[in-house]
């Protein structure tokens, strides 16, 4: 399947006219899991995936609002590597390896706001927000040691390829070119199918309505698979609307790394989330006003777009059976004021509740992965082609075939 041409062939088989794609699954259940159960429980597999999945290609690292002002510094761990998200004095967000250029000490373990310099606690070397070494006390054992500019440059913090889009910061740990324009070009080329599909949205107008952290007792792959599983909606989240609306969803696979689904009438057919309507995120064409798009930007940005709100679940895998989700909800900046405070909080409450309801499901999915039965599960072609595509992507990247 990894050699498939995208977009994949579509066929319409449902009585409601919904689109099902021809994915990796055959018509008849096979009784063979695409990703073995050990990949959800094993520490070796977890460590290998940190390299094969999270250390190459664009990976969600965090939110731009975590480093909202110049001097804001926020540590994260991606692909097992400590990184620092830094908002520079020039307004740019940069990402560095969180490792002092002297003895390699992590510069901070906690988010903070600094005055122009990030200082290492060990020998007090300090770095400017663009990463260059600003001072290294007693560097030459002299009281007033002067740093040679060439040496200061050589001892700059190590930059990581990064790009900020739609309130999210992405990194590519395998990229050698860290130049911002090169990063922007590469990101645009790789994410083109979704950037094009959402070109009517003005992501510069996003206003954070709320953010919530979820500690999930499950492997990161289950988090994604659950997000891509539209079949469970009427059973686990009955409050979102009638069964017909919950199941009125099309498979969408724009690219091997951009897969999910779309509810053509989801915004209208499901239950109202807020008493008062929110302004649209940009100039939304009439035929998209009712649509809900749900995509996994492989591997770890799970995005949900409606005409008037945008939801992201970014997550960091912590252990084979533990994942930390950071769920954020954005609305248009014209809904940032007090007049929309109640509406924003209603929207957040509805969306938090849905995610909360998934927690026990994820926990039990994880427990099930310790059963030999989990090597002979049966994804079904009518519902699970998108999940199968995700698993196929993992299996190819992590070498489970």
- Residues contributing to the site for ligand FES (CB under 6 A): 100, 102-103, 105, 120, 122-123, 125
Q: Which tokens belong to 2? A: 């990894």
Q: Is residue 315 a contact partner of residue 300, using CB atoms and an 8 Å limit?
A: yes
Judged by CB, which is closer to ligand FES: 157, or 307? 157
- The Cα 74–Cα 71 span in angstroms is 10
Judged by CB, which is closer to ligand FES: 157, or 183? 157
Residues of this chain that interact with Fe ion (CB under 5 A) are 358
**Taking CB within 5 to 8 Å according to partner kind, which of Fe ion, ligand FES, none is near residue 100?**
ligand FES
Minimum Å gap between C-beta 39 and Fe ion is 22
Judged by CB, which is closer to Fe ion: 184, or 354? 354
Judged by CB, which is closer to Fe ion: 160, or 294? 294
Minimum Å gap between C-beta 351 and Fe ion is 11
**Taking CB within 5 to 8 Å according to partner kind, which of Fe ion, ligand FES, none is near residue 122?**
ligand FES
**Taking CB within 5 to 8 Å according to partner kind, which of ligand FES, Fe ion, none is near residue 103?**
ligand FES
Minimum Å gap between C-beta 118 and ligand FES is 10
- The Cα 327–Cα 348 span in angstroms is 10
**Taking CB within 5 to 8 Å according to partner kind, which of Fe ion, ligand FES, none is near residue 123?**
ligand FES
Neighbouring-strand partners of residue 214:
325
Judged by CB, which is closer to ligand FES: 120, or 395? 120
The contacts of residue 333 (CB under 8 Å, 6+ apart) are 205, 206, 207
Closest by alpha carbon to 309, among 353, 269, 355, 344? 344
**Taking CB within 5 to 8 Å according to partner kind, which of Fe ion, ligand FES, none is near residue 358?**
Fe ion
Judged by CB, which is closer to ligand FES: 73, or 120? 120
Minimum Å gap between C-beta 352 and Fe ion is 12
Closest by alpha carbon to 116, among 87, 144, 92? 87
Judged by CB, which is closer to Fe ion: 159, or 359? 359
Minimum Å gap between C-beta 122 and ligand FES is 4
**Taking CB within 5 to 8 Å according to partner kind, which of ligand FES, Fe ion, none is near residue 138?**
none
**Taking CB within 5 to 8 Å according to partner kind, which of Fe ion, ligand FES, none is near residue 175?**
none
């Amino acid at each position: 399947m990894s050699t498939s041409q995208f977009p994949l062939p579509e066929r319409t088989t449902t009585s409601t006219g919904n689109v099902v794609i021809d994915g990796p699954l055959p018509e008849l259940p096979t009784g063979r899991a695409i990703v073995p159960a050990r990949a959800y429980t094993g520490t070796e597999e977890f460590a290998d995936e940190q390299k094969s999945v999270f250390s190459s290609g664009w990976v969600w690292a965090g939110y731009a609002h975590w480093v909202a002002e110049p001097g804001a510094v926020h540590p994260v761990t991606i692909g097992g590597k400590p990184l620092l998200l830094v908002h520079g004095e020039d307004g740019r967000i940069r990402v560095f390896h969180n490792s002092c250029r002297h003895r390699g000490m992590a510069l901070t373990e906690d988010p903070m706001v600094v005055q122009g310099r990030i200082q290492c606690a060990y020998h007090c070397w300090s770095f400017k927000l663009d990463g260059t070494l600003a001072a290294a006390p007693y560097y030459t054992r002299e009281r007033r040691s002067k740093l040679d500019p060439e040496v200061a440059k050589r001892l700059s913090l190590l930059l990581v390829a990064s790009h900020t889009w739609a309130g999210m910061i992405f990194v590519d740990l395998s990229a050698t070119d860290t130049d911002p324009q090169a990063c922007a070009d590469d990101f645009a080329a790789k994410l083109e199918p979704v950037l094009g599909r959402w070109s009517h949205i003005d992501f510069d107008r996003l206003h954070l309505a709320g953010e919530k952290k979820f500690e999930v007792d499950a492997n990161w792959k289950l988090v994604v698979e659950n997000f891509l599983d539209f079949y469970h909606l009427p059973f686990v989240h009955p409050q979102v609307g009638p069964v017909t609306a919950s199941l009125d969803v099309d498979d969408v696979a724009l690219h091997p790394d951009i897969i999910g689904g779309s509810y053509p009438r989801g915004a209208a057919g499901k239950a109202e989330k807020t008493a008062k309507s929110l302004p649209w995120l940009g100039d939304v064409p009439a035929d998209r006003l009712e649509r809900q798009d749900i995509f996994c930007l492989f591997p770890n940005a799970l995005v949900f777009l409606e005409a008037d709100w945008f939801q992201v679940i970014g997550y960091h895998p912590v252990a084979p059976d533990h994942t930390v989700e950071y769920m954020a909800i954005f609305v248009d900046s014209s809904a940032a004021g007090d007049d929309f405070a109640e509406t924003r909080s209603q929207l957040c409450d509805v969306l938090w509740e849905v995610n909360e309801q998934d927690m026990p499901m994820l926990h039990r999915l994880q427990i099930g992965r310790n059963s030999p039965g989990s090597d002979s599960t049966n994804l079904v072609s009518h519902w699970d082609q998108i999940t199968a595509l995700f698993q196929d992507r993992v299996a190819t990247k992590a070498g489970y075939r």
